[in-house]
Amino acid sequence: MMTLWIVIAAMLLLAVIILLWPLAVYKGAQSNELAISQKEKNISIYEERLAELENEQTQGTLDAPTFQQLKTELEKTLLGDVQYAEQPVNTAIGTASIQHWLVMAVIVVVFVLGSLATYNSLGASDKYQQYLAIADNPQEHQQAAANNSAAPDFAAALIALKAKLAENPEDIEKWFLLANTYAAMGDFQQAGEVYNRIAGMLGEESPGYAAAKAAYAQMMYQVAGERMIPVVQMAITDALRVDPEEPTALILRGLDEYQQQSYVQAIASWEKAKIKAGEVQVNNFIEPAIAEARRQLGITAPIQQAKPEQDALAGTASITIHLGISPVLRAKVSGQDRVFVFAKAGMPMPLAAERLQVKDLPITIVLDDTKAAMPTAKISSAEFVDITARVALSGSPRAAKGDLYVTAKQVAVQKGEELTLVIDKIVE
């Protein structure tokens, strides 16, 4: 941050010099010209009067003693003009210079304050930070925006996100956030394009590919007026080929099967979607959709076996971590520095997180559903997660150069795993 302000100050100074240099040079030249022109005027008057006296002497109307006396008086007058007439001129020049420099100072103040005000309005990071907590399910935020007059200013979020992505186009997390913001605004076409771009950036080998493709399918489904057009079906197929339990893709496939009156297949797809779906998706859509499909089949009594299974999974979903830090690295940090421990499963939003300080280490912690960052994204919804513990020297949970960390990949969630992690790496 200090480097940023040094650069800003240097640029402002350069801009001020460029702005004021012509004014300063012009005023200096003007002052010199004024002083010189007054002196030349006095000399010119002296020379004209002397020429008249010499002409009168030549014509014989002025004798030599009188000529000499008048010439002496004329020279005294010239000397007096130079001595006494220059002082008021210099004073006037000084007064004008003070006024001139005062105007230049006002210009500098207005320019600097205007520049800082513009930066505060368009570049302030606090407005950007408001949108870093947008959930993986943008429909919730879209509903909140409709019901809450104090909903986030998504237009400002877009400006901030695009600026950040211009600086770092490889930041997948911010691409997801940009897509979610478009979706929350109801701009499904733009959201779909961004999700599809994310899928291309990740590649099929990435855990987040299936989720990005499924989100793309969902946006295109909305753009098409909730119709299963070929591009939607292709995206669903791609997502399920990589992750057969991807919940959004399964929900969409179930909708397609329901529209074709294949109610048994639709129920099977929606039941499978429950494995990884969030609580909001299950309660607000999947369960009512299953109930309606059963009604179409003439089944009036709902089957209640999925809920206990889900509860059982949630009860066993936990990872115990014995966390420490390398003695060599510990000597380089303060005991007050923050430590972030979190579990992710391919998406930007952590499924479980814990915040500590270096002075707390070594420590044993448990990541489970009680440590969920969002109620709709819990660790029990995933089969495997990546665990990261990071000493954030900047105080932010986002990785920065110089941070210390350790990572464990593909840790099983439902097996009561115990890990011993030692923070021993540095972010380059």
Whether residues 337 and 276 fall in one domain: no
- Residue 263's pLDDT band, with cuts at 50, 70 and 90, is confident
Asked, for residue 144, whether it belongs to a domain, the answer is no
Residues 221, 352, single domain; the answer is: no
> pLDDT digits over 196-218, tens only?
999 999 888 887 899 999 999 98
Average pLDDT of span 172-186: 84
Residue 125 structure tokens: 């990071």
Are both 270 and 351 inside the same structural domain?
A: no
pLDDT at 410 over 80: yes
Q: What is the CATH number of the domain that holds 343?
A: 2.60.40
Neighbours of 136 (CB within 10 A): 18
- Distance, in Å, from the CA atom of 412 to the CA atom of 121, rounded to the nearest integer, reads 46
Q: pTM of the entire structure?
A: 0.41
Residues 305 and 320 in one domain: no
Q: Is residue 43 part of a domain?
A: yes
Q: Name the pLDDT band for 188 (thresholds 50, 70, 90).
A: confident
Is residue 338 located within the same domain as residue 384? yes
Q: Are residues 208 and 307 in the same domain?
A: yes
Is residue 408 a contact partner of residue 387, using CB atoms and an 8 Å limit? yes
Tell whether 153 is covered by a domain: no
Segments forming the whole domain that contains residue 112 = 2-122
**Do 308 and 341 have their domain in common?**
no
| One domain for residues 177 and 306 | yes
Mean pLDDT of 257-281: 87
Which stretch of 13-17, 69-73, 131-135 has the lowest confidence by average pLDDT? 131-135
Q: In the prediction, which pLDDT does 232 show?
A: 92
Task: Look at residues 259, 279, 312 and tell me which one is the last residue of a structural domain.
Answer: 312
Q: Are residues 284 and 388 in the same domain?
A: no
pLDDT at position 110, please? Answer: 67
Range with the largest mean pLDDT of 81-85, 370-374, 422-426: 422-426
* 180/277 same-domain check: yes
Number of domains within the chain: 3
